[in-house]
A and B are shown apart, each in its own frame.
Chain A
Amino acid sequence: ETGVTQSPTHLIKTRGQQVTLRCSSQSGHNTVSWYQQALGQGPQFIFQYYREEENGRGNFPPRFSGLQFPNYSSELNVNALELDDSALYLCASSTRGTGFEKLFFGSGTQLSVL
């Protein structure tokens, strides 16, 4: 078990709505990364936050946005939900350094958009 917790574990929304997913990072970690994992696919990098600033973004539209707070917890916000946003959303925390960055993953939030 890692110290990364995500809430909620499951969520059902309708198309056009907005959603906020939350992540509490492992103690001592200053970096949070968010991933989208569609059914049968590998995790797709959404963005990363380091010390409250966005530090890299994948190929996702601006309606995917995030925040990192002073305690290094984080939120993922998705506006104008589309059916294709249905997926498992994973949060991973790490300590940014100059070499390999080991990611500690939470169990994810399963989002269903109807």
Chain B
Amino acid sequence: AQSVTQLGSHVSVSEGALVLLRCNYSSSVPPYLFWYVQYPNQGLQLLLKYTTGATLVKGINGFEAEFKKSETSFHLTKPSAHMSDAAEYFCGNTGKLIFGQGTTLQVKP
């Protein structure tokens, strides 16, 4: 069975600090992994995706994620948080269109 687990339902960082949102996956086949972001009162939009090839994936708004097969992880990072990054973030696996539970990112001034 394929699934994803997001570690931490809420993450709070100061503006300018590193953002790290954690995601682990379970898949019996090579996964397609993704991160979507949901801003308040807006639809989800794709941040980045991993299919094959380079394991460090760069997305929009300065975010990136690294696929680590040995750790079954696909953590999302951004070197310096902006206030506008405050949103809900979802990791997922496209094998069965599976989304994680979500992590709310709070950015403090």
**CB within 8 Å of B: which residues of A?**
2, 4, 33, 35, 40-45, 48, 56, 58, 90, 92, 99-108
Contacts and interface: CB of A to CB of B under 8 A. Distances in A.
A109 to B, nearest CB: 11
Closest 10 CB pairs of A and B: A105-B43, A42-B99, A105-B44, A45-B97, A43-B99, A42-B102, A107-B43, A42-B101, A100-B51, A100-B32
A73 B42 CA distance: 20
A100 B94 contact: yes
Contacts of A100: 32, 34, 49, 51, 94
Interface in B30-71: 32, 34, 36, 41-46, 49, 51
A103 B44 CA distance: 9
B43 A106 contact: yes
24 contacts: A2-B43, A35-B99, A40-B9, A40-B102, A42-B6, A42-B92, A42-B102, A45-B98, A45-B99, A48-B97, A56-B97, A90-B43, A90-B44, A92-B44, A99-B32, A100-B94, A102-B49, A103-B36, A104-B43, A105-B44, A106-B43, A107-B41, A107-B43, A108-B43
B34 to A, nearest CB: 8
A48 B96 CA distance: 11
Contacts of B94: 100-101
Contact of B42 (A42, A45, A58, A107): A107
Contacts of A102: 46, 49
A99 B32 CA distance: 9
Nearest to A4: B43
Given A41-B102, A42-B90, A33 B44 contact: no
